[in-house]
Amino acid sequence: MKVLLILLALVPLCANAQIEDNSFLLEEAYNQEWGVYQFIQQYQTYNNSNNFTYAFTNEIPITDKTHQFSYGFGYERYDGVEHGSITDTTLSYRWQPVNRDGILIAERFGLVVPTGSVEKGTSAGVYGFEFVQAATITMAPQWMNHWNFGFKVLPAAKTAGVDKRRTLTTFKAGTSLIYFLSDHFNLMLEGLLESGQGIDEDGNKIVETSFTINPGFRFDWNLDWKDTQIVPGVSFPTELINGPTQQAVLVYLSIEPKFY
């Protein structure tokens, strides 16, 4: 950890604008500008296990900041499974109805496509729907606040080893604080509450709830090629409710070139 912090202190932070739209567990209400494409990768590994998750998202503007398309998928591995599996793919349309000084609001509508594996626990084997409401509030020149509320519905979901199908719903709500230590180095604290339905071995619905607190940081610099902004970040998610406390490390990387 000390070596990582020393390296970060030596990074030449030479970007010309503040970091935007680079939270880890939450969504910020920023949409992409026309001609600016964002490629996001996240890798999360868990302490005391071989579990890991990888996620990729590509955000693409449609005409202007009001409308945006994105797609995302990932790869996951859990204990008890010899090899991991690709996850479901989500195709999303994002609408930003409010964009004025001090507050932004965006709504994302997602179609869940069953590209994952039911047997390996990375898919429910059905098409589903996802909705997320995001709000971004400027509290002070150095403080930003983000809020999320969302849900996902998977009709007639499948579970490995269980014959019965059930419609499963997941709710989530979260908030975060971003402190601009400088325009190009931010400290972050996120909190995310999730409550989701599952199916036990007898085919009955169960509910699992978790609360994750996630401190971290992010920084940026610009490349001359296509005025590309690169934003790496690291955070330390800790799950507090769902059984024993589970700790993880999350590594984030955003690459945002401009094609105009």
Domain coverage including residue 219: 2-256
Beta-carbon neighbour count of residue 204 at 10 Å?
11
Contact 114, 127 (CB under 8 A): yes
Residues in the chain: 260
Query: What confidence score (pLDDT) does residue 12 get?
Result: 43
DSSP calls for 111-128 = EEE--S-TTTTS--SS-E
Query: What confidence score (pLDDT) does residue 2 get?
Result: 44
Domain count, the chain: 1
Task: Walk along the chain (260 residues) and give the pLDDT tens digit of each residue.
Answer: 443 444 444 344 444 467 888 899 999 999 999 999 999 999 999 887 788 999 999 999 998 899 999 999 999 987 766 678 999 999 999 999 999 989 999 999 999 999 999 998 899 999 999 999 999 999 999 999 999 999 999 999 999 889 889 999 999 999 999 999 998 999 999 999 999 999 988 889 999 999 999 999 999 988 988 899 999 999 999 998 766 678 999 999 999 999 87
Would you say the pTM of this structure is higher than 0.95?
no
Contact 26, 146 (CB under 8 A): yes
Query: What confidence score (pLDDT) does residue 6 get?
Result: 41
Classified as helix, coil or strand, 224 is coil
Kindly list the distances between the CA atom of residue 114 and the CA atoms of 59, 88, 101, 111, 158, in Å, as whole numbers in the listed order.
Answer: 20, 5, 39, 10, 11
In terms of C-beta density within 10 A (0-12 exposed, 13-18 middle, 19 or more buried), how is residue 153 classed? middle
Look-up of token digits 């995302």: 72
The encoded tokens of residue 94 equal 């994002």
Q: Considering only CA atoms, give the Rg of the chain.
A: 19
What residues pair up with 36 in beta bridges, in sequence order? Answer: 258
In terms of C-beta density within 10 A (0-12 exposed, 13-18 middle, 19 or more buried), how is residue 146 classed? buried
CATH number of the structural domain spanning residue 226: 2.40.160.40
